[in-house]
Amino acid sequence: MVNARCSFEAAIAIAIAIAIAIAIAIAIAIAIAIAIAIALAIAIAIAIAIAIAIAIAIAIALTI
């Protein structure tokens, strides 16, 4: 009876450890997703800045 209880407690401890590991993995995945989103936002901002710079350059070229 004691052995059964010990193995049951061990099983609960293992289940909790697995749940924590999964939660950490999900948190890391979310952090990576946020980092990718920020990188994309920066890339889009740079692309817009370049487009504006090109538009200004064309406007200056046309006025000259």
- pLDDT for the residue numbered 57: 95
- pLDDT for the residue numbered 5: 76
Q: Which of 9-13, 17-21, 25-29, 33-37 is predicted least confidently?
A: 9-13
Separation of first and last alpha carbons in the chain: 94
- pLDDT for the residue numbered 64: 80
Say which amino acid occupies 59: A
Average pLDDT over residues 32-59: 96
> Which residue range forms the structural domain that includes residue 56?
1-64
How far is residue 51's CA from residue 46's CA, in Å, rounded to a whole number?
Answer: 9
Domain count, the chain: 1
- pLDDT for the residue numbered 1: 52
Average pLDDT over residues 37-57: 97
Asked whether the whole model's pTM tops 0.95, one would answer no
Residue 48: phi and psi, rounded to 5, are -65, -45
- The two tokens of residue 51 are 């487009």
Q: What 8-state DSSP symbol labels residue 33?
A: H
